Chains A and B, each alone.
Chain A
Amino acid sequence: MPTKNVTDERLSKFKNKGKDPAKLREKRITECVELRKAHKNESFLKRRNLTLSSLPDEEGLSPDHLSAETVTPASMEEIIRDVNSESREAQTRGCQAARKLLSQECNPPLKEIIDAGLLSRFVSFLSMDDEPALQFEAAWALTNIASGTSWHTQQVVEHGAVPAFISLLASPMLHISEQAVWALGNIAGDGSAFRDVLIECNVVPALLARISPDTPVGYLRNLTWTLSNLCRNKNPFPPLSAVLQVLPSLIQLLHHSDKDILSDACWAISYLSDGDNDRIDVVVKTGIVPRLVQLMNHEDLSVMTPSLRSIGNIVSGSDVQTQMAIDAGVLNILPQLMRHKKASVQKEAAWALSNIAAGPCNQIQQLITCGLLPPLVEQLKNGDFKTQREAVWAVTNLTSGGTVEQVVHLVQIGALEAIINLLQVKDAKVILVILDAINNIFMAAEKLGETEKLTLLVEELGGLDRIEMLQNHDNELVYQSAHNLIEKYFGDGDIEGVKVDTTQDAFAFQSPDVKRTFEF
């Protein structure tokens, strides 16, 4: 009798015989190239015309204010002259006029200001601690330029603004420091390259130093946003050392009560968890998973969305990582999110579900116990296409990793009917994934000896017609997969002979060469 371990190992081999489980039950992460509009509810990469929370009241320079103020904007010549003058007063006036121009809603003259060579002047003003007004106006002007395209941001960085802004973080004047936070956020939001330039210049400790129990909420919002941009972007990811520096503060911020802070902190976590299992590990090790799950229940969409995304990322990781999310109760919240009124939330929830369904059968069982199959089938039937696509993956993953009983249960509550209806979708990949699911269900039926029953059910549900039609599909793999299903379960499989023109009477029974030694 083999020992217990050997038996277990063998039994595990049985479950997915004939296929590579890793290949079929893919944990899926989103791809990079997008044709769609950027997600409307995601956080901004760069921001302009924010109201500084810490702006002293008497300054009263909110953008609303600006429009009223700038009835007669200064001309570019005046600005150039003033900024380049040696008089502090003129410089301040020039910077302010430039900043106002740059703050206008439509077509701010970013390029004109850059071409006029004013950036190096602005940057030099940043270090004038004894001229806070000038410092502030210059910082604001640069912030607005950095909020433009990559090229604009690049100009700001190349003129040496990064170290100057980082020093400015320590300014005793809260509004100046906040302006620096904002500018740095815009630079970090440009992409991996400048983000890492900032990190190289030690922006993280300088930012974190500003977090204290007394930091005003408004300031903290901006700071959280900037931190989130420092966590953002892949290829490459932010360096691990920086991530480890930021994480404790992010965890702290995730317990704040302000929804904007929560939102950006969640986005930061979602960026950090959007990667391979090692990246996810760094996040889950902080013990933040239960809090994230809790935030998935947040009433505000801006908090719920990124926390759902973060958890979605985490369950795309290893089985252990997924289990942490399950233990934190994610499966109790997902049903209501699957039925959320917003299609984008349904889609994210279904995506998370599809990845949990790619896990081992005990996780699948938990998913079933928590009542996720009914909303899954509802989405397959009536959901938005993007949600249906994710839901289809969930079905395929479940049918390939689940036990026979689990697969039967899924079929009984209507998933087979729903995916068969979806065979008419205009998306080759979805069709292929459905055909895989149908094949998996047939394998389960074979184990139960109910292949014929399933064949009839598929036909009754109109599946046979649809699969037959797919044999005309232009996509080779779809065609092949449909053809295989028909051949295997619905066909009569004619065998055609091959013509050979030998005319011997018999085969020779040849005495083989006995010299060689056999070794098996």
Chain B
Amino acid sequence: MELNDANLQTLTEFLRKTLDPDPTIRRPAEKFLESVEGNQNYPLLLLTLLEKSQDTVIRVCAAVTFKNYIKRNWRIVEDEPNKISDQDRTAIKANIVNLMLSSPEQIQKQLSDAISIIGREDFPQKWPDLLTEMVTRFRSGDFHIINGVLRTAHSLFKRYRHEFKSNELWSEIKLVLDTFALPLTELFKATIELCQTHATDINALKVLFSSLTLISKLFYSLNFQDLPEFFEDNMETWMTNFHGLLTLDNKLLQTDDEEEAGLLELLKSQICDNAALYAQKYDEEFQPYLPRFVTAIWNLLVSTGQEVKYDLLVSNAIQFLASVCERPHYKHLFEDQNTLTSICEKVIVPNMEFRSADEEAFEDNSEEYIRRDLEGSDIDTRRRAACDLVRGLCKYFEGPVTAIFSGYVNSMLAEYAKNPGENWKHKDAAIYLVTSLASKAQTQKHGITQANELVNLTEFFVNHILPDLKSANINEFPVLKADAIKYVMIFRSQLPKEQLLQAVPLLISHLQAESTVEHTYAAHALERLFTMRGPNNTTLITAAEMAPFTELLLNNLFKALALPGSAENEYIMKAIMRSFSLLQEAIVPYIPTLIGQLTHKLLLVSKNPSKPHFNHYLFESLCLSVRITCKANPTTVSSFEEALFPVFTEILQNDVQEFLPYVFQVMSLLLEIHSNSIPASYMALFPHLLQPVLWERTGNIPPLVRLLQAYLEKGGASIAGSAADKIPGLLGVFQKLIASKANDHQGFYLLNSIIEHMPPESITQYRKQIFILLFQRLQSSKTTKFIKSFLVFINLYCVKYGAIALQEIFDSIQPKMFGMVLEKIVIPEVQKVSGPVEKKICAVGITKVLTECPAMMDTEYTKLWTPLLQALIGFFELPEDDSIPDDEHFIDIEDTPGYQTAFSQLAFAGKKEHDPIGDIVGNPKILLAQSLHKLSTACPGRVPSMLSTSLNAEALQFLQGYLQAATVQLV
């Protein structure tokens, strides 16, 4: 591509087309540009256009295209072709800074971004003169140019704030400091002087203050990794000026906008960050300046208004004070009673007030309000910062601070009492203050776990919280109602039980409140109260204590779901789940009605699942209904099936992917309740469960495997009888799962169920193939998880079909295979098997191989007999080997393997662990002793001689212990 007018013309046309709203014009143009961007001179053509085109639109378009081109192509990836010619690279680097600086702001921004992308790759080694070129511009006197340079420098240096220390990084910073630090300092001083000269010229001030903000940002980046020698030597200049700027006010720079922070706020906010950086990391050097900054920042806080635009500044400033007041050597700055009073009065209290913005959120954006207020996404808010400051001050001054605030709380409550309608916000602030003062440690699970002993929480509850909860009109002062409910919720671990019990019916009635926040809080508070633990690991509040309110509770919860805005309210649904779980059989009389409501809800949400938590708790509630009801009367299972299967069928037919894993779990739960036979309705579904499309989704695998296991357990014979043609498909699932390192254990769960529950003759023809598949996987990709599952399987096989069958099937696949597996897999790896059931299966299986397999006594396998016995004794006595080879750490395992399907997404759909051996074998060690005894009586003399020749002494001792315990002797 030549750099000529014709090409410029063509490029202009195509760029124009890329702006066309019609995709049939736009897309081909974009394609064309992509197809030519590999040509030499392409970037230079773009640069020419963005500089010289007559059309501003084309200039901006060229700039954006250029930046994106750089973003895609500049980095040289190893083993890939260099996508930009060296000549173009050199030319770009030679011109771009100049071009950026002389361009209007819109284009300047794009080029500045491009420079930082190039800089990330080339700076400093491959772009040595960039810095000097930038620094010379400082002397231009043109602040449009200077700000361009500063902005570019900021995008080049800001990575110093988050990258790890390394010699390479620090060498670069050193180089930057050598060239940049002094000119930056000079520029800083000069800019401040200019601010004084132009103190009345608003346009000049705007430019100068953006420069100062950028300079302050650069200061932060350059000082982040460590305190550079230059800045230590020039600390006086910087800190004095920062301090001056912090205290500066200029009417001209105040903005009318209430939301957007102005230049002055941005600058001061950055200076707070800079001071905080020095106070935290360079305390020794910064100490002389710190008191001045504390005073300045505090004055700043006192004089800053309530508008949203000051939020960042205020929260940064408060956080600075909070971090300083905790340090022992600065405590003297705060300890004076007047200082403390003044901080409490002028900094903390005003920032805890409920603002109009909060009020708007409470009414119109309840989800956001709840997230901030309840779930702690209030980082960066004023209230949060003020709370942190209270906590910081309490470290050394808990007594005085509590006393000061008690005064405020009382006066605010008095104000409220005078005229509640007018002054309700005072009470809100008082409650917030008490909360922040009292809470020293908090968790979602228990609420506040450690409280300030100087605050009487119960008294406050009785005098100020309870009256609000008891008020006849639940829709009056909804904010105060929400505050009161929240108080109960977060102080639940601190309040005496009788107070909580007193609150429960009141909370139940608040479920009916119109305000979304209020009834949501009521549901949440109830849910939290129901999870509290009492003595003996039971719930604190019992079903008996709830008896008088059960009906009202269930009614109000379900009615709350009908309130506007709460149709899919996850807090309410969770409260339903928790109520079911607490009330247990007390809900049985209501279930016939409630199950209808729940399935109706399910049908509605399955059209468009959008609230994952709501849906999850909905399914949990369904599981609880089933479990609780069927526990009392298993025959009711069919009524649930009747109610649920139509919805489930719809979900399956419409392939509502989010819900399938849940449906499979609920079905497993239902099927497992059936005593022995499998209903026809399930059998009809069986072929569909083997469809590959279901198994391609990883989330389906654990619940589907569990469901198939339930099918096998209840209907192994039915499948063999009426669906024998589906057995290959079933084994196909096994084969698919076994091929995946992540899911192979699921494949084994399935296989184990097949072995355990299918009539042996129905799978005879497939057995050999199953083993061959396992051996192939063992050979190609042997992981610890696979080996563990494999060992459990072969031992289960041995238990089920006998040791001889196991040995014969191995040796029929390949001569001497049985010995190889014992020697290479069983003996060295059995120690890794984990889980009590798994261990028992392996112990029994190995015992059988040792004592019921003639080949172990009379062939070349005999040499493995003692090592196998030794491994078994080690398996009994040594700690489990849970080491994993290094190369296996990165296997993507979503589930921890166990004999059971450990997948339990639905907590209330779980089933108890299944033990295929059961009580037949109580103690495997005794079984070993008895079996050895039997073997030794069958061939007298041989067993003791094998033991005495090669069994390790320690192992022998253990074995003698087993024999003694079983009261048998070897002969």
A residues whose Cβ falls under 8 Å from a Cβ of B: 1-3, 7, 10-11, 13-14, 17-18, 20, 31-37, 343, 382, 384-385, 424-429, 432, 456, 459-462, 464-465, 469, 473-475, 477-478, 494-512, 514, 516-520
CB distance from A5 to the nearest CB of B (A): 12
Known: A495-B894, A499-B697. 8 other contacts (CB 8 A): A1-B951, A2-B874, A35-B173, A35-B227, A509-B732, A512-B776, A516-B776, A520-B778
How far does the alpha carbon of A1 sit from the alpha carbon of B658 in the complex, in Å?
51
Interface flags, B802-827, vs A, CB<8A=1, else 0:
00000000000110010011001100
How far does the alpha carbon of A504 sit from the alpha carbon of B690 in the complex, in Å?
10
* Complex interface: chain B residues within 8 A of A514 (CB): 772, 813
Max count, chain B CB within 10 A of own CB: residue among A385, A432, A516: A385
Q: Are A7 and B878 in contact (CB under 8 A)?
A: yes
How far does the alpha carbon of A478 sit from the alpha carbon of B658 in the complex, in Å?
31
Q: Across the two chains, which residue of chain A brings its CB closest to B441?
A: A460
| Contact A35/B905 with A20-B886, A465-B379, A506-B690 known, Cβ cut-off 8 Å | no
How far does the alpha carbon of A510 sit from the alpha carbon of B692 in the complex, in Å?
15
How far does the alpha carbon of A315 sit from the alpha carbon of B658 in the complex, in Å?
56
- 6 residue pairs from A and B, CB less than 8 Å apart: A1-B951, A20-B886, A425-B281, A497-B657, A506-B691, A519-B820
Q: Are A501 and B163 in contact (CB under 8 A)?
A: no
Check if B952 is an interface residue, CB within 8 A of chain A. yes
Q: Which of A503, A507, A508, A509 contacts B766 (CB 8 A)?
A: A509
| Contact A35/B693 with A495-B905, A497-B699, A506-B726 known, Cβ cut-off 8 Å | no
Check if B280 is an interface residue, CB within 8 A of chain A. yes
Interface-side segment among B27-35, B552-560, B594-602, B953-961: B953-961
Q: Are A507 and B733 in contact (CB under 8 A)?
A: yes
Total of A-B residue pairs, C-beta within 8 Å: 207
* Complex interface: chain A residues within 8 A of B232 (CB): 36-37
* Complex interface: chain B residues within 8 A of A478 (CB): 162
Max count, chain A CB within 10 A of own CB: residue among B164, B328, B700, B726: B164
CB distance from B865 to the nearest CB of A (A): 15
Q: Are A11 and B879 in contact (CB under 8 A)?
A: yes
How far does the alpha carbon of A510 sit from the alpha carbon of B775 in the complex, in Å?
14
Q: Which of B157-172 contact A (CB under 8 A)?
A: 159, 161-167, 170-171
Check if B305 is an interface residue, CB within 8 A of chain A. no
Check if B902 is an interface residue, CB within 8 A of chain A. no
Q: Across the two chains, which residue of chain B brings its CB closest to A458?
A: B443
| Contact A35/B879 with A428-B164, A459-B443, A520-B779 known, Cβ cut-off 8 Å | no
* Complex interface: chain B residues within 8 A of A426 (CB): 161, 224, 277, 280-281
* Complex interface: chain B residues within 8 A of A1 (CB): 870, 873-874, 877, 951-956, 958
| Contact A520/B225 with A1-B953, A429-B165, A497-B699 known, Cβ cut-off 8 Å | no
Check if B341 is an interface residue, CB within 8 A of chain A. no
Interface flags, B724-748, vs A, CB<8A=1, else 0:
0010111111111000000000000
* Complex interface: chain A residues within 8 A of B141 (CB): none
Q: Across the two chains, which residue of chain B brings its CB closest to A479?
A: B162
CB distance from A301 to the nearest CB of B (A): 15
How far does the alpha carbon of A13 sit from the alpha carbon of B229 in the complex, in Å?
47
How far does the alpha carbon of A17 sit from the alpha carbon of B445 in the complex, in Å?
31
Interface majority SS (helix, strand, loop, mixed), chain A: loop
Check if B177 is an interface residue, CB within 8 A of chain A. yes
Q: Are B820 and A520 in contact (CB under 8 A)?
A: yes
CB distance from A286 to the nearest CB of B (A): 31
Check if B174 is an interface residue, CB within 8 A of chain A. yes
CB distance from B896 to the nearest CB of A (A): 12
* Complex interface: chain B residues within 8 A of A498 (CB): 696-698
Interface flags, B649-668, vs A, CB<8A=1, else 0:
00000000110110000000
* Complex interface: chain B residues within 8 A of A508 (CB): 728, 732
Q: Are A36 and B226 in contact (CB under 8 A)?
A: yes
| Contact A517/B814 with A502-B693, A502-B696, A505-B690 known, Cβ cut-off 8 Å | yes
| Contact A35/B161 with A382-B327, A426-B280, A519-B779 known, Cβ cut-off 8 Å | no
How far does the alpha carbon of A426 sit from the alpha carbon of B224 in the complex, in Å?
7
Q: Are B162 and A460 in contact (CB under 8 A)?
A: no
How far does the alpha carbon of A13 sit from the alpha carbon of B660 in the complex, in Å?
42
How far does the alpha carbon of A508 sit from the alpha carbon of B731 in the complex, in Å?
8
| Contact A3/B445 with A427-B281, A465-B376, A474-B162 known, Cβ cut-off 8 Å | no
Check if B782 is an interface residue, CB within 8 A of chain A. yes
How far does the alpha carbon of A319 sit from the alpha carbon of B229 in the complex, in Å?
36
Q: Across the two chains, which residue of chain B brings its CB closest to A1?
A: B955
* Complex interface: chain A residues within 8 A of B700 (CB): 497
* Complex interface: chain B residues within 8 A of A384 (CB): 283-284
Interface flags, B230-244, vs A, CB<8A=1, else 0:
001100000000000
Check if B442 is an interface residue, CB within 8 A of chain A. yes
Q: Are B883 and A17 in contact (CB under 8 A)?
A: yes
How far does the alpha carbon of A10 sit from the alpha carbon of B875 in the complex, in Å?
13
Q: Across the two chains, which residue of chain A brings its CB closest to B824?
A: A520
How far does the alpha carbon of A520 sit from the alpha carbon of B736 in the complex, in Å?
22
Interface flags, B870-892, vs A, CB<8A=1, else 0:
10011001110111101001000
Q: Are A507 and B820 in contact (CB under 8 A)?
A: no
* Complex interface: chain B residues within 8 A of A36 (CB): 226-229, 232
CB distance from B735 to the nearest CB of A (A): 6
How far does the alpha carbon of A424 sit from the alpha carbon of B392 in the complex, in Å?
14
| Contact A3/B952 with A460-B449, A495-B698 known, Cβ cut-off 8 Å | yes
| Contact A500/B699 with A460-B442, A518-B814, A518-B817 known, Cβ cut-off 8 Å | no
Q: Are B729 and A505 in contact (CB under 8 A)?
A: yes
Check if B89 is an interface residue, CB within 8 A of chain A. no
Interface flags, B766-797, vs A, CB<8A=1, else 0:
10010011011011001000000000000000
Q: Are B226 and A35 in contact (CB under 8 A)?
A: yes
Q: Across the two chains, which residue of chain A brings its CB closest to B224?
A: A426
| Contact A505/B952 with A17-B883, A510-B735, A520-B779 known, Cβ cut-off 8 Å | no
How far does the alpha carbon of A509 sit from the alpha carbon of B747 in the complex, in Å?
13
CB distance from A514 to the nearest CB of B (A): 6
Q: 8 closest Cβ contacts across the A-B interface?
A: A507-B732, A506-B729, A500-B696, A1-B955, A497-B697, A460-B441, A474-B162, A509-B731
Interface flags, B942-971, vs A, CB<8A=1, else 0:
000000000111111010000000000000
Interface flags, B446-463, vs A, CB<8A=1, else 0:
100110000000000000
Q: Which of B660, B733, B769, B870 contacts A512 (CB 8 A)?
A: B769
CB distance from A255 to the nearest CB of B (A): 34
| Contact A35/B692 with A1-B954, A518-B778 known, Cβ cut-off 8 Å | no
Check if B104 is an interface residue, CB within 8 A of chain A. no
Q: Across the two chains, which residue of chain A brings its CB closest to B878?
A: A7
* Complex interface: chain B residues within 8 A of A511 (CB): 769
Q: Are A501 and B693 in contact (CB under 8 A)?
A: yes
How far does the alpha carbon of A456 sit from the alpha carbon of B450 in the complex, in Å?
12
How far does the alpha carbon of A518 sit from the alpha carbon of B817 in the complex, in Å?
8
Q: Are A507 and B164 in contact (CB under 8 A)?
A: no
Q: Are B889 and A18 in contact (CB under 8 A)?
A: yes
CB distance from A225 to the nearest CB of B (A): 24
* Complex interface: chain B residues within 8 A of A509 (CB): 728-732, 734-735, 766, 769
How far does the alpha carbon of A34 sit from the alpha carbon of B232 in the complex, in Å?
14
* Complex interface: chain A residues within 8 A of B951 (CB): 1
How far does the alpha carbon of A498 sit from the alpha carbon of B743 in the complex, in Å?
14
Q: Are B280 and A497 in contact (CB under 8 A)?
A: no
Q: Are B612 and A494 in contact (CB under 8 A)?
A: yes
* Complex interface: chain A residues within 8 A of B174 (CB): 33, 35
Check if B282 is an interface residue, CB within 8 A of chain A. yes
CB distance from B528 to the nearest CB of A (A): 14
Max count, chain A CB within 10 A of own CB: residue among B167, B173, B450, B883: B883
Q: Are A518 and B775 in contact (CB under 8 A)?
A: yes
* Complex interface: chain A residues within 8 A of B416 (CB): none
CB distance from B269 to the nearest CB of A (A): 16
Q: Are A35 and B698 in contact (CB under 8 A)?
A: no
Q: Are B446 and A456 in contact (CB under 8 A)?
A: yes
CB distance from A368 to the nearest CB of B (A): 25
Check if B940 is an interface residue, CB within 8 A of chain A. no
How far does the alpha carbon of A11 sit from the alpha carbon of B879 in the complex, in Å?
8
